Structures are given as C-alpha cells and as structure tokens.
Amino acid sequence: MNWCDHKLSRLPFEPPGSGMDRSGPILTLDKVSKYYEAQNGGELLAVKEVSLGVRDREFICILGPTASGKSTLLKMMGGIEKPTLGTMSLRGEIFEDGIPANKLRNFGFVFQQDNLLPWRTVVKNLRLPLEVFHSAGHGSADRIAEMLTLVGLQDYGDVYPHELSGGMRQRVSLARAMVHDPDILLMDQPLGALDAITRRMLSHELLRISRATRKVMVMVTNNIDEALLLGDRILVLTALPGEIAFEAANDIPAEARNEAIIENARYKALRALLDDIVHAQSEAGRTAGRTGGDGE
C-alpha cells in the first residue's frame, strides 16, 4: 500500500489504552490557510486549507518536508500568526480572524532554541510567564518548584542559563512553557538543537512528562522516531503549500513505548511507512521546485 492509499483513508483518533475520548476538540482549525508576502512582491501560500481538531490529552506530532509550513501551522494554532483564510475555535469559542492575543495564556511554547533570558536565574525565567499573565502572586514559588521537579531540575533553580547544558536548558524551557498551566503545549522541533544521545534521552523524558501532566501537546519534529514514540496521532504535511498529506492514529501500545520500542514490529512497519511518505512529499516538492529537502 503506498501513501496515496493512506491519504484516502484517514484513521479516527483513538488514544492507545485510554479509551475513546468522546468530548469535543479543545482547538479546531477549519480550512485554515496562510499567505505570506513573498520577496518578489507576490504572495506565498505557506499553509493550505488545513482542518484539524485537537482533543483533550492528545499528543499530536507533525512531520513534513523542510519549509512545508509546519512552523506556520503551529504558530497559527497558538495565535502567534493569524490565518489569512479559515476559522479556528478554542474551547468552543469561534474565531474568524485567528486566536486573539487575550487567549495567549492558553498556550505554552517551546522552540528549537531555548530563548531563556541569560540575566535571569532558572527560577526567575520560570517566573516570567506568571508575571506576563499576572499570576505571579501567592503560590507561584510552589508552582515553579513543582515544574522544576517535573523536569528533574529541582536543584538548579538559582543557576543562570549559561551554567546549564543544552539539554538542561530545554528542560527549563519546557518547565517555563507549562508553569502557567496552559491548555495546550506547542513545540517546534524542541529537541532539534541537541546532540543525538541527549535528544533521545529527552524524548523519553518528554513522554514521561506528557504522561504525568496529561497535557495536550502538539510537536513539530523532523524525526520519525520521536513522532512514533510520542505521538498519539501523526500528521505529515505536503511540500509547500503545506496540506495534510497523511494522518494516522499511532497504534503502538503505550506499554511498548520505551527504550525497546525499536524492536517492536508495529514500530518498524510504521517507521518504514512514514519514512516513505515524508520522502515522497519531499521528492514531490523538489521536483516542483518548492522545497529544499526533507529536513533530516
């Protein structure tokens, strides 16, 4: 079966081992498109008619060729970019012009670069979202301590970012993104700047954190192994303009998602399939002159 067959048969999402979640989506996108102003003065269609519903406790991973609109899509989901066309809704509230700024506290962001403030200690970096969202009052020290414990950095609150390794800084970023208790954590290649060993270790940490918090997470990654370890649902975008080319529930059982996952037969099959799909999309983009490669 090639990827085209899968495009025709979108699978319903069913979180493995947790029973079907019948509540409505927290965040929806209905035929959302984004045009940017191109360098030649024309318009560049970066994301085309993406429709998606993000459900409670769901972990979605987004794969795709490089420059296929993944970051643009993620930014629209969190209200950082406004869609040009299409409707979005957050907890049932409908928005014709994208998620408004006053809903920003519903989201936490983690990017490839940690963006920590170098002049603030770890604790003070974690205080930042609480200050921005006016919730830095009573109880914030406990909340910060709780988040630092969650990411395993309870003994590092008083150090400055430059005293931490890259992996530790990304843990701080993760804690900072969750400290104000957002509904949805949006992550854009959060492990992309790390060396291979740290990256693998942190991907398992992220799995533990997602299970501990049961937070809704959406992660852009160029790494199929991460997507299969973490994603309950995996989307693959086409080359520019980014459309959903493929979408499937990840049916690798929760108990098999551990260090031994690479031995799992289903994992091997899905990995090969996703690899084919992503490469086919990259190749199609290259042939059409729309993208530079597969982002690996």
Contact 219, 190 (CB under 8 A): yes
User: Rule CB under 6 A: is residue 193 a binding residue for ligand ATP?
Assistant: no
Smallest separation, CB 115 to ligand ATP (Å)? 16
> What residue type is assigned to position 25 of the chain?
P
Given 35, 36, 95, 133, the residue binding ligand ATP (CB under 6 A): 36
User: Rule CB under 6 A: is residue 295 a binding residue for ligand ATP?
Assistant: yes
Q: List, edge to edge, every strand of the sheet that includes 93-95.
A: 43-54, 27-37, 85-90, 93-95
Binds 95: which of ligand ATP, Mg ion, none (CB < 5-8 Å by kind): none
Contact 95, 29 (CB under 8 A): no
From the list 62-70, 100-108, 206-214, 272-280, the region that binds ligand ATP by CB under 6 A is 62-70
Smallest separation, CB 133 to Mg ion (Å)? 26
Contact 221, 228 (CB under 8 A): no
User: Rule CB under 6 A: is residue 240 a binding residue for ligand ATP?
Assistant: yes
Contact 98, 83 (CB under 8 A): yes
Given 33, 72, 125, 170, the residue binding ligand ATP (CB under 6 A): 72
Smallest separation, CB 54 to Mg ion (Å)? 19
**Number of chain positions touching ligand ATP (CB under 6 A):** 13
Report the 10 Å Cβ neighbour count for 174: 24
Q: Pick the closest to residue 29 from 64, 70, 68, 76 (CA basis).
A: 76
Q: Which residues bind ligand ATP (CB under 6 A)?
A: 36, 44, 46, 64, 66-72, 240, 295
